[in-house]
Amino acid sequence: MKNVVIVDYGMGNLLSVQRAFEHCGARVRITSSPAQIEKAEFLVLPGVGAFADGMRELEGRGLVKPIRAFAKTGRPFLGICLGMQMMLETSEEFGIYEGLALIPGKVVMIPKSGPDGTSHKIPHIGWNSLLPLHENGDWDNTILHGISPGETVYFVHSFSAAPVHPRNDLADCSYNGLRLCAAIQSGNAYGCQFHPEKSSSAGLRIIRNFLEIQSLKE
Amino acid sequence: MEAEIPHLGGGREIDGKSMHNVRLIARLDVKGPNLVKGIQLEGLRKMGNPNKFAKKYYDEGIDEIIYMDIVASLYERDNIKEIVRRTSEDIFIPVTVGGGIRSVEDAREILRAGADKVAINTAAIKNPQLISDVSKRFGSQCMVLSIEAKRKGEGQWEAYYDYGREKTGIDVVQWAQKGYELGAGEILLTSIDMEGSAKGFDIELVRTISEMLPIPVIASGGMGSVDDLEQVVREGRADAVAMAHVLHYGMYSVGEVKEECLRRGIKVRV
């Protein structure tokens, strides 16, 4: 059985994430203990809310260093929503804030209008398609293994990740003609802007892939 | 595999506006341990175990679930929490819970039971600050402002609460604007006039609020057919559609609603 540690830092509903991982056969521990985070087998950083609040809560609990240390080990890491955004270096959300810096890039506000000047609702809430970056965009052996381009997952966000290197951008979605980053990757560190735990069978598939990431790569 | 960046989310234009996947939401009004269906927010009929209905709709492909605890007296709060807790065990889509949430602590308990969002009406009318408090504490994506609107005249609606029983004298258009400014992330907009009628949505109501606010509006109350859904999406510009009657009485399966939407060029998750 896979042992998953979910970081509890006071930002949002961990229960849904826990239930989804348990449904996929994992044993889940929810903790804010730096020691348990550092020695985790699989680490999940969920969270909803503002970037600055999230980082402040992590720092206040002394969790920034343990999370960075965990990521350096190369063991599987998954950031979800705010947890994914905090994997980047900085955010422009109500000021400039520093993130966990696991992946080069920043978090920016979703533009208020599309390329053709039409406005859209913010937050971007709802089911949207996952799109590969390249025509032959390869999701094999990643958490998106077996997911077909165009498959839909559930998003709720007002800010969007902008990784510096295209190689860290695993998938995008398109919102009113704007291309928004949907998933990021660096080695075994993954981030999903969408909520896999709320994305029905596609989301559960992604969680199972994450739990099987080592054997997928073999 | 799509190579080029799909413009406008791969969707089509509606009245010059781009179209995204319209969210289809099953609304389950709950009284005690039972799913109930009301007629114009009065006269209730017991339908059975809400968890069974929710699971069926989930398996059929519904996008979200809304539970509305229509009694929500202090003594019966445990029922809804138990329903939500069971839901979170085998349903992996967003779940909103409304009814009887009077404080940040109430919201926390419902979220802890497994809900993703809370819908608040009565307590927000009595204390609008609650909208800000919930939004700041759990994020605006959690804070759904539930508005029960009764038509007063052309372009005018009054906000009600307690399942359409109590009037407030508050103008719905102003209230929706204020709710947005206080931090509501979505509006659940129920027409008291159309609720339970199966005669279609109050299109003018939905369009007025949806065009005014930059946050999503869920149209609720009145769906009797996919014609009604099409109208409230195309003309009312609803971002999401809540349906009850048509699903609970088995007039359509969720799959049939989706097929019919796609046939009419309305984008939905497949």
Distance from CA of B61 to the nearest CA of A (A): 8
Which of A156, A165, A123, A129 lies closest to A144, judged by CA?
A129
Lowest mean pLDDT among A150-154, A174-178, B111-115: B111-115
Alpha helices in chain B (DSSP H): 50-60, 77-90, 104-113, 122-126, 129-138, 172-182, 203-212, 226-234, 245-248, 254-263
Locate the domains of chain A by residue range: 3-217
Which of B40, B60, B38, B36 lies closest to B50, judged by CA?
B36
Give chain A's end-to-end CA distance (angstroms, integer). 19
Does B30 reside within a domain? yes
**pLDDT, tens digit (0-9, with 9 covering 90-100), for A77-125:** 999 999 999 999 999 877 788 999 999 999 999 999 999 999 999 889 9
- Write down the pLDDT at residue B72: 60
Both tokens assigned to B223: 């769906």
DSSP B189: E
Does B3 reside within a domain? no
* Structural domain boundaries enclosing B65: 20-263
- Write down the pLDDT at residue A92: 85
Does B129 reside within a domain? yes
Contacts of A23 (CB under 8 A, 6+ apart): A204, B89, B90, B92
Contacts of B113 in chain A (CB under 8 A): 15
Which ipTM score applies to this complex?
A: 0.92
**Average pLDDT, integer, range A34-39:** 97
Interface of A with B in 148-207 (CB under 8 A): 149-150, 152, 154, 156, 174-177, 179, 195, 197-200, 203-204
Residues paired with residue B147 on neighbouring β-strands, in sequence order: B189
Q: Which fold has domain A3-217?
A: Rossmann fold (3.40.50)
A68: enclosing H helix or E strand: helix A64-73
**pLDDT, tens digit (0-9, with 9 covering 90-100), for B231-265:** 999 999 999 999 999 999 999 999 999 999 999 99
Which CATH number characterizes residue B198's domain? 3.20.20.70
The residue behind tokens 């009600």 is B160
Does B59 reside within a domain? yes
Contacts of A131 in chain B (CB under 8 A): 2, 6
Neighbours of B144 (CB within 10 A): 27
Please pick, among A81, A173, A181, A192, the residue that the annotation labels catalytic.
Answer: A81
Total domains present in chain B: 1
**pLDDT, tens digit (0-9, with 9 covering 90-100), for B202-235:** 999 999 999 999 999 999 999 999 999 999 999 9
Alpha-carbon separation of residue A2 from A142, A214, B118 (angstroms): 17, 12, 32
**pLDDT, tens digit (0-9, with 9 covering 90-100), for B1-35:** 333 333 322 233 444 344 689 999 999 999 989 99
Both tokens assigned to B113: 């039971």
